Amino acid sequence: MFARSVSVGLDIASDAVRVVWCRSRRQGWELLGWHSINVPAGTFQGDRLIAPDALRDVLSQIHKILPRRLARLCIALPGAAVMQKTLMVDAFLTEQERLFRVEAELPSLFPLPPHELAFDFRAEGAETANGRLKLVVTAARRELMNDYLAVLQGAGLQADIVDITPLALRRALEQAQAALPPALELEQQLLVHLSARNLLVTSVPGSPLFFRDQPLNIPQSEGNSVPPALLQEQWLSEVTRQLGLIRQMYHSTGRQSSGLLVSGQLRESDTRVLSAQLSVPVQGWSPFAGLSLAVSVPQQEDAWPFTLACGLAVWEGN
């Protein structure tokens, strides 16, 4: 009974594979375990998998530490690999009729032939006064998704859910929300997941989905030619620049953000610089904060790499 209730979130990134497994209980989610294994250099080129055998070996190691029987295993495609469009339909359509409508509109929504796409859709917002409903259609190259699924299968794993990283990030915050400062106006925040080479920004749970997922253009150090302090300064400058541009894009949609909720590798001094440069409060948070704990967890400053895996592990729905 215990094993069947285990939900696994698997975050496959270019630097490491991170996994979190939880159990759903009446009072919320219980963290049962977490682990990380580094990915060999050269496995990925950007978001593109170029050495599947190397990734399969890492996933095989992950498989060995997981419970034998799982309720579900959830992975996510990177936001940069995802395309998203909206489609207005009659609100009275059944789910099957909505599917037919989306399939018929795929050629006009996306710049790829329909047979090359894996897609899903969901309703967003309320029915309009004239009986219409907005559908958000999300698509990615079927080849990309199949590459991930094939490597998982080769490692003895099967993905029950294929999500996208922006929704995993929102879900991670949603389950950790109770641990945030009570005075925080959540609806006025932008949600940020920040690594050494990538920046993911999304709107908070409960609001229309907005996201940007993009690499950070940082010169790579050759040997010891660039001092670490200078690299950190260049990285923080690029993060600040990109966040400023993304906030402008967000505000152009008619919404406002008065703060940033950041899960990422920010030192306390970096947080102060970022807050001063952007003139907004910057609040850190831990993805483990909203979980009951059956195991010990890293401190907040070391927990951020597991944010997406946490958001995937606590997936609920059909």
Residue 125 located in a structural domain:
yes
Gap between the Cα atoms of 9 and 79, Å rounded: 16
On whether both 211 and 132 belong to a single domain, the answer is: no
**CATH code of the domain in which 124 resides:** 3.30.1490.300
How many domains does the chain divide into? 2
Mean pLDDT (whole number) for 3-25: 89
Domain range for 265? 181-284
On whether both 197 and 129 belong to a single domain, the answer is: no
On whether both 275 and 217 belong to a single domain, the answer is: yes
Mean pLDDT (whole number) for 33-50: 90
- The 10 Å Cβ neighbour count of residue 235 is 18
Q: How far is CA 42 from CA 35, 154, 194, 317, in A?
A: 22, 19, 21, 36
pLDDT of residue 220: 59
pLDDT at 221 over 60: no
Gap between the Cα atoms of 52 and 143, Å rounded: 13
Gap between the Cα atoms of 213 and 198, Å rounded: 7
**pLDDT band at residue 224 using 50, 70 and 90 as cut-offs:** very low
On whether both 273 and 199 belong to a single domain, the answer is: yes
**pLDDT band at residue 223 using 50, 70 and 90 as cut-offs:** very low
Q: How far is CA 297 from CA 26, 33, 185, 211, 317, in A?
A: 22, 9, 27, 28, 27
- Each residue of 225-254: pLDDT tens digit? 556 777 788 889 999 999 999 999 999 999
**CATH code of the domain in which 266 resides:** 3.30.420.40
Mean pLDDT (whole number) for 117-134: 91
Residue 145: Cβ-neighbour burial (10 angstroms; 0-12, 13-18, 19+) = middle
Residue 118 located in a structural domain:
yes
Mean pLDDT (whole number) for 305-314: 96
pLDDT of residue 107: 95
On whether both 211 and 278 belong to a single domain, the answer is: yes
On whether both 185 and 274 belong to a single domain, the answer is: yes
On whether both 190 and 278 belong to a single domain, the answer is: yes
Mean pLDDT (whole number) for 157-177: 93
pLDDT of residue 26: 82
- The 10 Å Cβ neighbour count of residue 221 is 13
> Residues of 152-179 as b/e, b for ≥16 C-beta within 10 angstroms?
beebebebebebbbbbbbbbbbbbbbee
pLDDT at 191 over 60: yes
Mean pLDDT (whole number) for 182-203: 91
Sign of CA dihedral 11, 12, 15, 16: positive
Average pLDDT across the chain, whole number? 90
- Each residue of 253-278: pLDDT tens digit? 999 999 999 999 888 889 999 999 99
Residue 159 located in a structural domain:
no
Residue 105 located in a structural domain:
yes
Residue 293 located in a structural domain:
no
